[in-house]
Structure 1
Amino acid sequence: MATKAPETVQQYLSDVESAAEEVITTQQEVVTLDRRRNTNREALRSLRSNAAVSATTGSGGRSWICVGNMFLRMPREFVVESIEKEQKQLDTEINNLRNSLRGKVNKLNDLEGKEETRGTSLRPLSQDEWCAVRQALGK
């Protein structure tokens, strides 16, 4: 039975721990950004429902927004547009992190000598692909 040098074992454990830390950090970033995205979605819903109430009562179209550590009263349309832009940016960041997470998990599995996790390379069909499927099925 061949024995491995302690340095080799230590390097192996260090590599595995580093890869695992990357996976955990990326997962935590996704969770944090997703919470922020949910908060923005709640804010948009509230702004839109308040806009409907304001339209019927004739009150002003300005809303409060928190920028850094300041609260500013801005036109409602500007606030909604800003939040929608941030939503798109958050969606992009979350998708990029999730895509990079697949590679990081596969790297960790390789280091641990495990098989690649099945289904991690799957992606949903795009709108165009769905249209093609519907046409092929005659719907």
Structure 2
Amino acid sequence: MDNPDKSLQYLKELESLGEEILVDRQEIIALDKRRNETREGLRELKNSKVTKTWFALGPLLLKFPTNKVENLLKKDQVQVDAEINKLRSNLKVKVNLLRDMEHQPPVPGLMLKPMSKQEMNAMGHVLGRC
């Protein structure tokens, strides 16, 4: 690139995309930590025999019936899982875009998706593992 303005703009775009990737990765880590804490809380509630449980809702500490707390935690876990999956799929696209901008080939296997249960059953039939 002979034009310094174009070169500078190109580098800004690269840095911006790289920063977005790092921010998304940190957000995934934070959400994964929250998911694990929610899972631990659910497990502890299932082992508990208490009818009412203290529950932290933002800055508030409230006492709720245990079954309502379990429902809230399950809903939160579903929402966090959806957010993590969305971030991960967007992250794959951003990583490939960054590699394209850097004139590198895409990461092999980055866009692979797991096989569905039907596909696994079909493979079992083909391989004779009925």
TM-score (norm 2): 0.93
Code of the residue aligned with 1:76 in structure 2: it is: T
How far apart are 1:45 and its partner, in Å?
0.8
CA deviation map 1:4-34 (0-9, x unaligned):
1110110110111011011111111111100
Which whole-Å CA distance do the structure 1 matches of 2:41 and 2:125 have between them? 39
Match of 2:83 in 1: 93
How far, CA to CA, are the matches of 1:78 and 1:29 in structure 2? 28
Shift in Å, 1:106:
0.4
What is the percent sequence identity of the aligned residues? 37
Distance apart, 1:118 and its partner CA: 0.4
CA distance in 2, matches of 1:115, 1:41: 38
CA-based RMSD of the aligned residues comes to: 1.3
Q: Which has the larger radius of gyration?
A: 1
**Structure 1 unaligned blocks of 5 or more:** 55-59
Greater relative CO (CA pairs within 8 A, separation 6+)? 1
**Alpha-carbon deviation of 1:85?**
0.8
Partner of 2:119: 129
Count, aligned residues: 129
User: Residue type matched to 1:18 in 2?
Assistant: S
Normalising by structure 1, report the TM-score: 0.87
Task: Tell me: CA distance 1:135–1:64, structure 2 relative to 1, closer, same or farther (3 Å).
Answer: farther
Separation in 1 of the partners of 2:105 and 2:126?
35
**Secondary structure in 2 aligned to 1:73?**
strand
